[in-house]
Amino acid sequence: MADLEALLADFTAECADLDRLIADLDPTGWERDTPAAGWTIAHQIAHLNWTDQVAAVAATDAAEFDRLVQAALPKALTFVDEAAEEGAKTPAPQLLADWRRDRAALVEALRTVPAGTKLPWFGPPMSPASMVTARLMETWAHGQDVADTLGLTREPTARLRHIAHIGVRTRNFAYLTHGKAAPGEEFRIELAAPDGTSWTWGPEDATQRVSGPALDFCLAVTQRRHLDDLALEVRGEEASEWLGLAQAFAGPPGSGRTAGQFA
């Protein structure tokens, strides 16, 4: 069983790492364009803040969350971008304060969820542990966009394991978003962790295999780097196809990044 308190601590640490990148930016810095087309740094933080707010609603008021879902249905393909656009209009100091307040509120809300409860979401219902892991993944991924915008290199941490795990678990979802049937065979994933240990998933004798640095795998499944720019070894046609489709995030397929974009 997942240790919820440990996951919440990791989420808090991931948020703090991103916070340090933006805390001293002037208003012009918040307006810088990120690798996500049409999104500035302000859009990135507004998106994270909005999703943390909605996740807290899911954890505390199922009826209100259902109303949010019903309101979003007519604009299913645009409501996320619209929320980011609206949030990005908030003055930077206030947006930063809002994000700090609301991510802390989400942590407290998830702590109060009774054991065994599944929280409603825009996709399948999630346990509190799955919810906070998803929030950590998204915070890390959008944090990568911010770091790339600022020309900064982040130090990989053991928190990458959560992101890699989502990347592995969402394999079949990635095929579904592209209208494809997922392979029946499990894949073997072997990743070199930041501390030099190994993280593995899948049977040891699988013919379809992916190996390499955990950081590179996480950049691949969050579509923050083109596969040509990553040190991943892929064996098997199906494993190769999957990495071209992989996405750890919900929603329609992303546009990813171009080869050599961050050389």
**Cβ neighbour number for residue 249 with a 10 Å cutoff:** 18
pTM equals: 0.96
Measuring CA to CA, which residue among 137, 138, 116 is closest to residue 127? 116
Q: Give tens-digit pLDDT for 74-106.
A: 888 899 999 999 999 999 999 999 999 999 999
Q: Give tens-digit pLDDT for 110-126.
A: 999 998 999 999 989 99
pLDDT of 1? 54
The crossing angle, in degrees rounded to 10, of helices 92-111 and 128-150 is 160
CB 219 within 8 A of CB 225: yes
How far apart CA 32 and CA 39 sit, in angstroms, is: 9
In sequence order, which ranges of the chain are alpha helices (DSSP H)?
4-22, 27-30, 41-60, 62-72, 79-87, 92-111, 128-150, 160-169, 171-177, 214-221, 237-245
pLDDT band at 254 (very low <50, low <70, confident <90, very high): confident
